[in-house]
Structure 1
């Protein structure tokens, strides 16, 4: 992989993209891997041309042509005439290669089906593990620290953020795991999601990685947001022949809650396509990985804690691969545990020691709570009146419920639902607030959510 360091500025990737391979050896993966991908692609999409093959495999047309020539020699591919697209061409000399189309022979179809049975991945040629390891380390958040201004801007609409913003910033820059803890409804998950807005340096993510004989798909639209390159970046792509196997993306945010299982943290097979998928923590590299509702997973808490001891300590992770081998990958994600448990309830001293920062989320102060209530009223287009707010505050006092930031949003939404249903004027009243409060809280909740 050829790559040069670029001066970092806001909004620019911390490294230049890898350069496009000019030889089959330069792809960094065995030639048979690229050949198998070409066969599988033609099996799924027959009669496509060189340009389409180039776009789908994300390598140069010269390398595609080399692969085609080799596969034709083995009798796996045939060339179709551009006019009828039915009659094979014995020798394509004299014809413009851009208008030729290709399809598999009978033996080529057998080879493609065998390749698909072994591995269902069809897409861009994977990058070698060593290139991914290098890029992941170079794009670590430690090389692109956030500043107080960036984080405050990212949380500028979060009421009460001043209580913890200056703890979260250093925690993110440290590269260590973070614990967000506090009562339900204090905004832990919401703020964890908003932090990603302060990470304004894009990164390059490969579509797939070749790891010890296995293609592991890494890029997924669910977790990776592809960015259009800036004019300066586009010029770099053009002048340096950017390797199109790498995608310019915003830093990823991967979040998982009570549904988390150990299988999600290992290479797994996609039931729909048969391709091998990267684990969640690998998808979150160079970004943020949130384990929400920590303590509510089906697996024992201590087992989940033990899974993270080595990655948190050494910034590497060991993956078990489909062929039985193990691979070492970088663990360069900001790991955030969000929980309703206290550090004492988590209990494992070895784990707690590796949590560099523990950020407590308390209820709001009354001034922030009032401001949040007014903002939610405006969001619902209610005609503002101070009487409903005063009644709401009296309910808090009566039932000894702290000023949790989730309450104004949820109560105003219930009020909106009641107004629509009963065809009332879009104005809050103490009676509406009382009704919403009774709907929102059960007796058991009121017993738990006390001051």
Structure 2
């Protein structure tokens, strides 16, 4: 029996992966149920952090934000005000906090708390030890469970949903089929081909297939350290009230939702030539003495794109080797400066895009670990004309097919220049720029195309 015999048991395992997944539609028609944020804590023990962490955060908030009512302090910490009463009582007994408005007959909850001189000194000491100021961090094990509950592998796509997501783009049917199968694999995607063939555009459009929402914590705690996760650059809240000035958002679900979490769209994190190996590990803020989550953790539940692979500041072999274990096991092991290591589910859909030849980037062992390898090459004439017509319409120019025929026969064919997807956009832009200089109305003429060609391509 051959190694790839139909009798092998791999097929049932693959089918099992789809059994509990739902069809995804970019328009939001059929979409997976959004995993709810964790329930609001009912007791201090539900917070998952020690009383000392809560005490320090209260002092730091009162120090940086000034006097606050208990309900305001609760919003800033992301916890019900009732869970702060024991902490406030302890701080008052220690003469670290005083209260205004606690007079007979005054409405409950109107009291304002502020730091004493001793309390300010204690708060400054805590800020030197740990500069994190924000909602109470969630425990690592809760963060791990939430990532698994809202996994990016929760949806599948079919031909109709792919056509909907890529509507308006000129994409070969072969490529659409490969991208759809790659999405359903929930593994990884490797896009390669010449510069300008649309790899980055296809990857960002690919992100439209990500449906549903994820819950993102402001921060989590591990080994006595705080790691900040929520990043407004990548996390777009879908809640009714986005977080402002470090305050926790109430969002949908009101008091039934743990306000240390923010309900967001599935994240899309793109890193290009600026990527370094350090960006894939927890980054320690020396001034604040807390950590920032690495890119793959911020991308959890969404898409992580490594664009222009091979042009990074870090050696490509080092960079690719960093992904071997996470790609195979689905678990990423992160390390703190103390040497403590901890696991986090690797649940971002990784997309690698490069202009270089795959064999020049990695060996066969690593390429084999990448789920799907999709090549994007030059266009055929029909595709090129279709893209040219799109860019003309988008810029208010009349599309003239005869002018494009002139371009193909008199410039592309004699020079052997391949038909690359970005050429129509760039040539149309140059036609418009010349017209603006001349004070003329831009038009798709043979003369205008020749002038654009001569400044766009290097003349040998």
Q: When the two structures are superposed, what TM-score results if normalisation uses the length of structure 2?
A: 0.87
- After TM superposition, list the pairs within 5 Å mapping 1:123-134 onto structure 2: 123-134=134-145
CA 1:110–1:10 in 2, change beyond 3 Å: closer, same or farther?
Answer: farther
Deviation per residue, 1:165-213 (Å, 9 max, x gap) = 1111221222222211111111111111111111111111111111221
Query: 8 Å contact 1:229–1:248 — kept in the other structure?
Result: no
Give the secondary structure class of the aligned counterpart of 1:435. Answer: helix
Cα distance in 2 for residues equivalent to 1:123 and 1:357 = 41
Partner of 1:3: none
Cα distance in 1 for residues equivalent to 2:456 and 2:301 = 39
Query: 8 Å contact 2:128–2:288 — kept in the other structure?
Result: no
Residues 1:408 and 2:424 are matched in the alignment: yes
Partner of 2:389: 374
Give the secondary structure class of the aligned counterpart of 1:243. Answer: coil
- Return the offset for 1:48: 2.3
Deviation per residue, 1:121-163 (Å, 9 max, x gap) = 2111111111111110121122223333323211112212423
Residues 1:313 and 2:333 are matched in the alignment: no
Residues 1:67 and 2:81 are matched in the alignment: no
CA 1:154–1:236 in 2, change beyond 3 Å: closer, same or farther?
Answer: same
CA 1:274–1:400 in 2, change beyond 3 Å: closer, same or farther?
Answer: farther
Query: 8 Å contact 1:119–1:276 — kept in the other structure?
Result: no
- After TM superposition, list the pairs within 5 Å mapping 1:43-442 onto structure 2: 43-81=63-101, 94-228=105-239, 237-238=253-254, 241-270=256-285, 275-394=290-409, 395-442=411-458
Give the secondary structure class of the aligned counterpart of 1:171. Answer: helix
CA 1:193–1:64 in 2, change beyond 3 Å: closer, same or farther?
Answer: same
Cα distance in 2 for residues equivalent to 1:244 and 1:135 = 14
- Return the offset for 1:107: 1.8
Give the secondary structure class of the aligned counterpart of 1:15. Answer: coil
Partner of 2:48: 28
Query: 8 Å contact 1:50–1:97 — kept in the other structure?
Result: no
Greater mean deviation of Cα atoms: 245-254 or 262-271: 262-271
Give the secondary structure class of the aligned counterpart of 1:248. Answer: strand
Query: 8 Å contact 2:267–2:302 — kept in the other structure?
Result: yes
Partner of 1:85: none
Greater mean deviation of Cα atoms: 66-75 or 124-133: 66-75
**Structure 2: 5+ residue runs without aligned partners?**
1-19, 23-28, 242-249
Give the secondary structure class of the aligned counterpart of 1:296. Answer: coil
**Structure 1: 5+ residue runs without aligned partners?**
1-5, 82-90, 445-451
- Return the offset for 1:236: 7.4
- Return the offset for 1:372: 0.9
- Return the offset for 1:333: 0.8
Give the secondary structure class of the aligned counterpart of 1:123. Answer: coil
Q: When the two structures are superposed, what TM-score results if normalisation uses the length of structure 1?
A: 0.89
Give the secondary structure class of the aligned counterpart of 2:206. Answer: helix
User: Over aligned residues, Cα RMSD in angstroms?
Assistant: 2.3
Cα distance in 1 for residues equivalent to 2:251 and 2:230 = 24
CA 1:352–1:384 in 2, change beyond 3 Å: closer, same or farther?
Answer: closer
Query: 8 Å contact 2:96–2:115 — kept in the other structure?
Result: yes
Query: 8 Å contact 1:10–1:201 — kept in the other structure?
Result: no
Partner of 2:7: none
Aligned length: 426
Cα distance in 1 for residues equivalent to 2:161 and 2:94 = 57
Cα distance in 2 for residues equivalent to 1:156 and 1:7 = 24
CA 1:367–1:63 in 2, change beyond 3 Å: closer, same or farther?
Answer: same
Query: 8 Å contact 1:223–1:252 — kept in the other structure?
Result: yes
- Return the offset for 1:93: 6.0
Cα distance in 2 for residues equivalent to 1:115 and 1:426 = 64
CA 1:44–1:390 in 2, change beyond 3 Å: closer, same or farther?
Answer: same
Cα distance in 2 for residues equivalent to 1:219 and 1:257 = 21
